[in-house]
Structure 1
Amino acid sequence: MPLLTPFRCRCKLGRKEAVEGSSQLPQQNYEALRERCLREGSLFEDSSFPATRSSIGSGPLLKKLPPHLQWKRPTELHSNPQFYSTQAKRLDLCQGVVGDCWFLAALQALTLHQDILKRVVPLNQSFTEKYAGIFQFWFWHFGKWVPVVVDDRLPVNEAGQLVFVSSTYKNLFWGALLEKAYAKLSGSYEDLQIGQVSDALVDFTGGVTMTINLEEAPSNLWDLLAQATYRRTLIGCQTHPQQRVLENGLVNGHAYTLTGIWKVTCKYGPEYLVRLRNPWGKVEWKGDWSDSSSTWELLSPKEKILLLRIENDGEFWMTLQDFKTHFVLLVICELTPGLLSHEVGQKWTYTVQEGRWEKGYTAGGRLQSPRDIFWKNPQFLLSVWRPEQGQRSLKPCSVLVSLLQKPRHRHRNRKPHLSIGFYLFRMDNYRDGQRRLPSEFFWRNVPLSKPEEFLREKEVSKKLWLAPGTYLIIPCTSEAHQESEFILRVFSRKHIFHEIGSHSGVVFSKEIVDQNEEQNEFVTKLFEKYPEINAVQLQNILNHVTLSGLGNTQPLFSLEACQGILALLDLNASGTVSIQEFRDLWKQLMLYKEVFHKQDTNRSGYLNWLQLQAAMMEAGIVLSDNVCKLMVIRYGGPNLQINFVSFVLLMLRAENMEDAFQNLTQDGKGIYLQKSEWMMMTLYT
C-alpha cells in the first residue's frame, strides 16, 4: 500500500450549522472527499468530528478513558484489517467503556438481518480497494435517510486495543466505525451513555417500535415472539434499573438482544425458550437452561447438540417465564406494522407530517381545563376507511399513530426529551379542512383517546381501532410553552392526512412495499391447515409453491429429499416439523434461492463446483476446492452439476454440521462425541 498523508476536511458550515445548539450535521460529500484523498495520496481527517477528546465529550466518560489515549487507524492496528466479513456468522461485537448497551443491543439485532444491515452499513467499503481513510453510514433521522461520514481514526489504549466497541474477530472494524458515526450523529461518544433500545432501532430502520411491559405481558406473548422472529423485526429487551451484576448472572439496568426462540420437547412436556445476548460479549445467565444447567439432559441428543453452545460469549437460553420475571421491557421494531394486526395479508399505507411546538404560538400543552390554550397545539385531520369495502363500511380500521420528537440540541443528551403524547377526537359533520378548530370545540368534546401518561421518550406510539370516518389528532407536550420539533406518522389500510391551517395541502397515504408479505400470508394460512407437517405434506407444499427467480424450470422436491430436509429440521425426532421449524426453513429457502440465482448466471438451473463454492461462501459457509468438488460428486448429477433441491439439502446439512461443531468445540480446533451422539449426527442427519 502506498504511503498516504493525512488530508483534513475543512468544511464551510452555513450559519445554521455553526450555531452551538443546532442539530444539523455538516454537509459532506463522501464520494467527492474520497476521490480528493485518492487524487492527492492522502488519508481523510474529519475536522467536524476530530480525533480529540472534544469528540469523546466532557462528562463522566472521560474518567473511564485509559491514561494515554491514542487515535489509530485499523491499518495501524492489524496487518490484515477488514471492514466486514460474511464469514463472521456469530454476533461478534463487544461493548467498550461507553455505556451504550442500548445502542449495541439494537446493533446486534441488526446483524441478524443482512438486507437491513446493508441499508445502514454499505458493505462494499474496505481497507484495500480505493482506501482513503473515509467511511460512510446511513441512519433514519426523523423522517429521512441521512449519510454520516467519518474518518477511521479510532481511540485505543497503549496496547493498541480499541477503547469503545470492538469485535471478537480482531481484524473486523465495521462495528467500531459505525459506533463512531452514530456518536457523530448524536454529538459525541458521551452522548451515547444514556439511551433506549427503541431509539437506536428506529434510527437503524425507520420502523415502528412496540414496547411491551413484561409485568403486564399479554397472554399470547409467545405467539407474538414467534411472529416477530419470522418477520422483518429487530428485538431488544431491558432489565430492571440500577445497574449491577446479579448472582444469577444477569445485569440490572442493562439492554440485551433477543436472538431467537425455540420450543423444546422435554420428558415432562414442552418448554418455551428464548435466546438472549449480553452486549458485553460475556457474563451470562446462570439459571435453568444456562450453559452449565442440567436441564439440557431432558432433551434428545440432537436437540441438545444443535441448541447448546458452551462458551462465555454473552449468549444464553432461558425459559419464557424466567424472561418475563427478570426483564422489564421488550422492544419489537418492525419495518412494517403488520405484527400489530391479526389480519392476514394486510397491506399498510403511511404518511409523515412535520410540525413544531413554538412558545406563544403552537405550544399549548396538555388538555387541562375548558379555557386553557390546548387548542393552540398543531391540529391534524385524519380520514380513514377500509379500501376493500369503501368509505361506507362500518367495520373498524386498524390505525397506528407514532409521534417522534426531534433533539433540541446538537448533542442529543444536552437537553433531555420532553414528555409528549397525543389526543384523538372524533370529527362528525366536519367540512372545512383549512380552518383550525377553536377552543369551544375542546370544551364540548371528549377525546376518544388520550395519553395514559406523558412519556419522556423519543417516540410514543399507539394502536387504535377506529370506525371509518374523520378524526382530529393533537400532538402536545405535557406542559405549555415547551418548544421542540416533531414528526407525526400514521399507518393504516387507507387514509388521507393533513395539518389544519397549514399550506402544505392534503397528504395522501403511500403504500408500504413488504416483499415478505405474500410469504408471511402463505405460512400463516398453511399452519391453519397443518399444525404439524410430515414428509409427504412437506413435499406437497414445496412442489406447489412458485419459487420465483430460478429460471423457467421450477424445482421438483422428491419424497426422499423432503425426508432428508425433515430429518435436518426435526430436532426432537417427532417425524414432523412445527410452525417454528417450518418458518426457519422458509427463511433459509429464500436465502438459498437468492444466492443460487445469483451464481446461476446462464439460468440453467444448475451450479458447477466453482459456482457452488461462491454460492455457499455468500451464504456464510466456506469450503475448500477439494471439498466443493466432492460435494458436487455427492449431491450433483452425472454431469457434475448440482440443482436447487440438492443445493438446499447440502446447505441445510452444512449449516447443521457447522452449528454442531461450534456448539461442541471448546477451543475451535476439535470436538469429542460419544458413540450415540456420533451415530445420531451422521446417520439421522
Structure 2
Amino acid sequence: MAKKQAASQPEEPRFCSCKCWAKYIFSPFILLWQAFRIYVLGCFTAYAERVGRGVFCGLCVCCNCTFNDKRFPHDHRSIGTFKGRAGPELDKDIQWRRIGDIVAAAAPQPKKGPSGKKPKSAARLFADDVEPADICQGQLGDCWLMSALACLACQPGAIQQVFQTKEWTMYGRYKLRLYDGNRKKWSTVTIDDYLPCGADGQPIFAKPNGDEAWVVLLEKAVAKFMGGKYECLDGNLMIKALEMLTGDFVCMFRLGDVRDSTSRGKPRTQQAWTRLELSRGPPPKDAQPGDDLRLVYAKDKPFDHDLMFRSIKWELRQGSTIGASNAGGGNDTQNVRGIVQGHAYALIRAEEAEDKKFLRLRNPWGNFEWTGPWGDTSPLWDQNPKVKAALDFKPVDDGSFWMEWTDFVNHFNTLEFCCRSTGFDHVVINIHEEHPVCGPCWGCLEGCFRYWLCCLGCKALCCGRKVVKFERPPQGCCGCIG
C-alpha cells in the first residue's frame, strides 16, 4: 500500500504542470476576456447604475427623501459609550448629518456662478487615487482599522473592491462587502450616509479628506458589521480588520513571546519573533462577526531578525499588507520619541541602503511622527546623501516616517501580516467621479492602457498567487511581483 501511495505522489506536479501550460497556451483568450469583463463591462455597468439611480431614486431625491437605515438608527443606540457617557444624554451633544452636507460646509466657498448663486460642493466616494493620506482617525480607538486601511490604500484596487456601490449617490444608500471569518463567507452590509457630528458640525470619529467619503463610510459599515454601534470598534487586532476587508490569510508575529524561552530576558535585538494565527471554534448562533476570536501558536520555529526583515521585504513586494504595534506598551495618550504606545501603525516599505535596514511606517492619525534617528527632522539625512537618495527621502508632515531596523525592534514588538492573494480579482476599473459624464469611459481607456501596455494583465495572469498559509521568503530569488 505504501509503495502504491509513493508511486502516485508525483502525479500532482504533472497535473499542476499541465494546468500551467494550459494557462499559457490560452493566455491570449484569457487576457482578452478579463479585459472585456473588467473594463468594458465595468464601464457599461457604471452607466447602467447611474440610469437606474436616476429613474428609481430621482423622484425620492427631488422630494428630499433619502435612504434611512433603520437598523443603524441616528441616535445613541448606534454609538454606545462615548467619553464615558451613554444613553439619551449623548443625543443632546451629537447631531447626525449627511456626508454631502459635511463636505459642503467644510469646503472653501466657490465663487458665484452665472445665475448669481454659489454652486454647492458635492461629496465623492473616491477622489483621484486612494492613498494613505486620505485616512484621519477620529475620537475612537480604532487605529487597528485605520492602520489596515492605510496598508490597503497603498495597493491599487484593494479598497475599491470592498465597495459594491462604486460612487457617491444623492440617495445615500451604499453597499459594502465584508468577510465574516467566523462563518467563512462574505456578507453584504448596507448603510446610509448619515454620520455622528459634534457641535462644530464635523464627524466625531473618522474625518473625510476633502470631499472623499470612503473612509467614513467604511468605518460606519464595519461598526454595523461588528455589533451595530461604533463602540464595537474600540480596540481589536489589525489582522482582524485585514481579514474582514480582504478575506485573505492573516497571521501575526510577537517579539520575545512567552513561548520562546530561549530569548526571554535578553535585549530586544537578541530576541526572536514567534508566529501566531487566528483560530476560531464554531460560533454561537447569536455571535457577532469577530466573536470567539483567539490566537494559536504556529508550528514553525521562531524567526530571527534577519529572517524577519527578509520576510517583511518579500511580503511587501508580493503585495501583502503589514502592520506594526507595541502591544502592552501603554495607551495612546503616551509616546516615546513620537511613537504612540499601544497604537497600530501601517508598514509601507522595507529597504536596504548602505548596509542599513530601513522601514517606512505611517501613523493613521495623519500626524505625530517618530522624532528619533532618521526621522523627518534628523540631521542624518544630510550627513548620508547616498541613503537619502536611495530612499528618495522628502520630509512631509503626513504621519509617515523612516526608522532604522534596530530602532524599530526597540519600539515595536508586534507585526501583523495579511498575505494577499493576487490575480484578476484585484484588477478594478476607476470610474473617475471627478468627470460626471465621461468618467467611466475615461476609466475604461485608462485601465486598458495599463492592462496591455503596462503589463498589468500579464502580471495578474502569470504572477498571481493564492495564499493559504505563511511561507518563508526564498533564498537568493527576487521573485515575481503580482
Aligned twin of 1:314: 399
Partners in 1 of 2:446 and 2:79 — Cα distance? Answer: 42
2:156 aligned to which of 90, 111, 114: 114
SS at match of 1:257: strand
Give 1:245 deviation, angstroms: 2.5
Aligned twin of 2:226: 186
SS at match of 2:225: helix
SS at match of 1:43: coil
Aligned twin of 2:195: 154
Give 1:322 deviation, angstroms: 1.2
Matched, 1:163 2:204: yes
Q: TM-score, normalised by structure 2?
A: 0.60
Partners in 1 of 2:232 and 2:101 — Cα distance? Answer: 27
When residues 264 and 302 of structure 1 are mapped into structure 2, their CA distance, relative to the original with a 3 A threshold, is closer
Partners in 1 of 2:404 and 2:387 — Cα distance? Answer: 19
When residues 306 and 327 of structure 1 are mapped into structure 2, their CA distance, relative to the original with a 3 A threshold, is closer
When residues 67 and 214 of structure 1 are mapped into structure 2, their CA distance, relative to the original with a 3 A threshold, is farther
Q: Residues 65 and 163 of structure 1 are in contact (CA less than 8 Å); yes or no, is this contact kept in structure 2?
A: no
After superposition, give the CA deviation of every residue in 1:584-630 in whole Å (9 maximum; x if it has no partner): xxxxxx99xx99xxxxxxxxxxxxxx9899639998xxxxxxxxxxx
Partners in 2 of 1:105 and 1:50 — Cα distance? Answer: 27
When residues 326 and 160 of structure 1 are mapped into structure 2, their CA distance, relative to the original with a 3 A threshold, is same
Q: How does 1:624-643 map to 2 (within 5 A)?
A: none
Partners in 1 of 2:76 and 2:449 — Cα distance? Answer: 40
Partners in 1 of 2:225 and 2:54 — Cα distance? Answer: 20
Aligned twin of 2:15: none
> Which residue type is aligned with residue 72 of structure 2?
F
Q: How does 1:8-407 map to 2 (within 5 A)?
A: 37-41=57-61, 42-58=65-81, 60=83, 62=85, 68-77=93-102, 78=104, 79-87=121-129, 89-122=131-164, 124-127=166-169, 131-142=170-181, 143-167=184-208, 169-187=209-227, 188-215=229-256, 216-217=272-273, 218-219=303-304, 220-241=307-328, 242-243=330-331, 244-265=333-354, 270-300=355-385, 303-304=388-389, 307-336=392-421
Aligned twin of 1:466: none
Partners in 2 of 1:613 and 1:37 — Cα distance? Answer: 26
Q: Residues 183 and 191 of structure 1 are in contact (CA less than 8 Å); yes or no, is this contact kept in structure 2?
A: yes
Matched, 1:515 2:457: no
The answer to which of 295-304 and 47-56 deviates more is 295-304
SS at match of 1:91: helix
Give 1:35 deviation, angstroms: 7.3
When residues 125 and 271 of structure 1 are mapped into structure 2, their CA distance, relative to the original with a 3 A threshold, is same
Q: Residues 235 and 333 of structure 1 are in contact (CA less than 8 Å); yes or no, is this contact kept in structure 2?
A: yes
Larger Rg: 1
Give 1:304 deviation, angstroms: 3.9
Partners in 2 of 1:312 and 1:233 — Cα distance? Answer: 25
When residues 35 and 302 of structure 1 are mapped into structure 2, their CA distance, relative to the original with a 3 A threshold, is farther
Aligned twin of 1:626: none
Which runs of 5 or more residues in structure 2 are unaligned?
1-50, 105-120, 257-271, 274-302, 430-440, 455-482
Q: Residues 131 and 150 of structure 2 are in contact (CA less than 8 Å); yes or no, is this contact kept in structure 1?
A: no
Give 1:297 deviation, angstroms: 2.0
Aligned twin of 2:446: 615
Give 1:302 deviation, angstroms: 8.7
Give 1:237 deviation, angstroms: 1.4
The percentage of aligned residue pairs carrying the same residue is: 28
Give the count of matched residue pairs: 320
Q: TM-score, normalised by structure 1?
A: 0.43
More strand by share: 1
When residues 118 and 185 of structure 1 are mapped into structure 2, their CA distance, relative to the original with a 3 A threshold, is same
Which runs of 5 or more residues in structure 1 are unaligned?
1-30, 337-513, 517-589, 596-609, 620-642, 646-685
When residues 34 and 51 of structure 1 are mapped into structure 2, their CA distance, relative to the original with a 3 A threshold, is farther
> Which residue type is aligned with residue 376 of structure 2?
D
After superposition, give the CA deviation of every residue in 1:207-234 in whole Å (9 maximum; x if it has no partner): 1112111332322112101111011311
Give 1:80 deviation, angstroms: 2.6
SS at match of 1:286: coil
Give 1:61 deviation, angstroms: 5.6
When residues 80 and 306 of structure 1 are mapped into structure 2, their CA distance, relative to the original with a 3 A threshold, is farther
